[in-house]
C-alpha cells in the first residue's frame, strides 16, 4: 500500500469492473456503505464531450463513525463521506485509492474526539485496501 499526502493507494491486477466490485465489498466488510457513485468518465463525456479513462468516485460512509464525527464537529460534514476512487491504468490493471482521514480531518485542528474518529476511519480504510491486496 502506498501512502500519499492525502490518500492511501493500491494498484491491483484487476479489470476496472472487478476492482470497483472488490472495493465495494471490502468497504462493506469494514462497515462502510457506498452512498454515492460518480462515474467521472461518463460525466466528462456528457458535460464536456471529453474522453477520459474509466474512473469512479465512491462516496463511502460508515454511519457510526460519521455520527461520532458530527458530534465532535458539526461542520465536519464538509469533509464527509470518505471518498474512494477506482480507475483503470491499463486493461487488466486498476488503482483503488481512499482518502487519508487523518490528513483530511487534520485541517480541523486540535479536536481529540475527531482525531479518534479519524484514526479509526484510517484503520478501517487501510484494512479494506489490505484485504483487496491479499486477495489478488
Number of domains making up the chain:
1
Give me the pLDDT at residue 104, please. 84
Task: Give per-residue pLDDT as tens, 76-120.
Answer: 999 999 999 999 999 999 999 999 998 887 788 889 999 999 999
pTM of the entire structure? Answer: 0.94
Burial of 97 (0-12, 13-18, 19+ CB in 10 A): buried
Give me the pLDDT at residue 52, please. 97
CATH of the domain at 117: 3.30.310.70
Q: How far is 128 from 32, CA to CA, in rounded Å? A: 10
Task: Give per-residue pLDDT as tens, 11-62.
Answer: 999 999 999 999 999 999 999 999 999 999 999 999 999 999 999 999 999 9
Provide the domain limits for residue 34.
Answer: 2-135
Amino acid at each position: 500500500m502506498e501512502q500519499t499526502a492525502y490518500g492511501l493507494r493500491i494498484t491491483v491486477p484487476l479489470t476496472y469492473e472487478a476492482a470497483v466490485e472488490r472495493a465495494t465489498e471490502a468497504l462493506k466488510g469494514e462497515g462502510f456503505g457506498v452512498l454515492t457513485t460518480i462515474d467521472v468518465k461518463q460525466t466528462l463525456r456528457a458535460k464536456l464531450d471529453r474522453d477520459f479513462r474509466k474512473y469512479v468516485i465512491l462516496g463511502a460512509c460508515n454511519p457510526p463513525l460519521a455520527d461520532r464525527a458530527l458530534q465532535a464537529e458539526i461542520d465536519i460534514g464538509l469533509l464527509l463521506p470518505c471518498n474512494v476512487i477506482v480507475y483503470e491504468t491499463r486493461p487488466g490493471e486498476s488503482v483503488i485509492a481512499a482518502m487519508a482521514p487523518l490528513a483530511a480531518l487534520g485541517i480541523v485542528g486540535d479536536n481529540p474526539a475527531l482525531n479518534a474518529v479519524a484514526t479509526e476511519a484510517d484503520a478501517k480504510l487501510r484494512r479494506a485496501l489490505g484485504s483487496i491486496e491479499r486477495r489478488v
